[in-house]
Amino acid sequence: MLDKVEELLQNVDTFTASTKEEVESFRIEYLGSKGILKSLFSEFKNVDPSQRKEFGQALNQLKKNAEEKVKSLQSNLEDQSLSEQKYGDLTRPGEPIALGARHPISIVKNKIIDVFNRIGFTISEGPEIEDDWHNFTALNLPEYHPARDMQDTFFIEKSDEAKDNVLLRTHTSSVQVRYMENNEPPIRTISPGRVFRNEDISARSHCIFHQIEGLYVDTDVSFADLKQTLLFFTKEMFGKSKIRLRPSYFPFTEPSAEVDIYWGLETETDYRITKGTGWLEIMGCGMVDPNVLKNCNIDPTKYSGYAFGMGIERIAMLLYQIPDIRKFYENDVRFLEQFKSAL
Ligand code: PHE
C-alpha cells in the first residue's frame, strides 16, 4: 500500500501539462469525487493499525502535493495566456527591421572620393573652426584683399588685427594649406568637409554646405594634367566626356578656370537646368599660385601644382535632379528614403 502511495507521489511530482484540459483531467483523476485519493482514503480502514499513522501521513502529503500541482499549473497557464493576449504569439517570426538609407550628400561624397581614390588621391580632413591664416592669408588673400568679400564669413572672434580672427571655414582649401604645411611633395589629396558662408538661404544656396577640394603638387605638374584629371572625373561621375574650361579668377590659383560639362539638351529638364545652353558649371580650378606654395614652405621653383573645388550639394542636385538645396537639410524621410547606395 505505502509503495503505491510513494509511486503516486512521484507521478504527481513529475506531471506537467500544456493545456487547461490536461490540468482538469489530472485534478479529476486525483482529487475528484471518484478520484484516486477518495478511493485510497476509503482503504484506510483496511490498513493494519500499526501502519495507519504512516499511511495517513503519506496520503495527506499526496493530497497536498496534488492540490499544489493543480494550482501551480493553472496559474502558469493563466500567465501564459495573459502574455499571449498582450504580446500575441511569442514564437512568431520577428518583424523585419526597416533598413536606414545613407544621406544623399554622403552617397555623392563617397562616389566622388571613390573616383579620386582610384587615381591615387588620399583623403585629408581639418577643423571647421579656422584661423585667418589657413582660411585666407596663406591662400594669397592678405588683409584688406578685396577677394575676401567673395566668401561672406561667419566670425567666431573678430579682432582688430585680421590675423587674430577666429572663423568658420568658408572652403576646405584651408585643409589643403594644413596638408601642405605638414607634408612634402608629391602631394595628391582631396579634402571633403562642411563649409560655412553668411549667405541668404534660398533654393540654390545655403549658409552651410559641403565641398570637396583636390590638390596635386609635384615636379612638372601642368594645366594639361589638371584637364585630364577633370575629364576622368566627369566621365566616371556623370558619364559625360565633354568639358570646357572658362577663364576665371581665384586668389589662390593662377591661371584659374571654371569647369563646365556638356550635359546635353535632350529633355525639357536639360533645357531648364542648362538655361538652354547644354552646358553646366560644376567646379572651380587652377594652377596653385606660387605664393601659396611659398606660404606653405614648398619651393615654387621646384614644384608646381593644381587645385580644384566643388560643392557636393550642387553635384547631388544635378545627379538626382533635385530642384531645391533646402531638401537636403529638412530630414524628411519621404525624401531621404529614395536614396539607396552601396557606397
Ligand atoms: N576654394 C574655392 C571656393 O570655395 C574653390 C576652388 C578650389 C577654386 C581650388 C579653385 C581651386 O570657391
Residue type, 131: D
| pLDDT of amino acid 55 | 84
CA distances to 240, 254, 269, 293, 325 from 320, in Å: 15, 33, 12, 37, 12
Which segments of the chain have a pLDDT < 50? Answer: none
Instruction: Give percent above pLDDT 90 in the chain.
Output: 57
Question: What's the pLDDT at 227?
Answer: 96
pTM of the model: 0.73
Per-residue confidence (pLDDT) for residue 143, from 0 to 100: 86
Which residue has a Cα nearest atom 8 of ligand 1?
A: 284
Q: Residue 150 carries which DSSP code?
A: G
Q: From the CA of 258, how far away is ligand 1's center (Å)?
A: 10
Report DSSP letters for 93-129, one per residue: PPPPPPPP---HHHHHHHHHHHHHHHTTPEE----SE
Q: Where are the domains of the chain?
A: 2-87, 104-342
CATH class of 104-342: alpha beta
Instruction: Give the 3-state secondary structure of residue 177.
Output: helix
The whole-number pLDDT of residue 222 equals: 97
Per-residue pLDDT of 229-244, as tens digits, reads 999 999 999 998 899 9
- Which residues, judged by CB distance below 6 Å to any ligand atom, belong to the binding site of ligand 1? 171, 173, 213, 250, 253, 284-286, 307-309
Report the pLDDT value the prediction gives residue 89, as an integer from 0 to 100. 80
Give the model's pLDDT for residue 151: 74
Atom 6 (ligand 1) nearest CA? 309
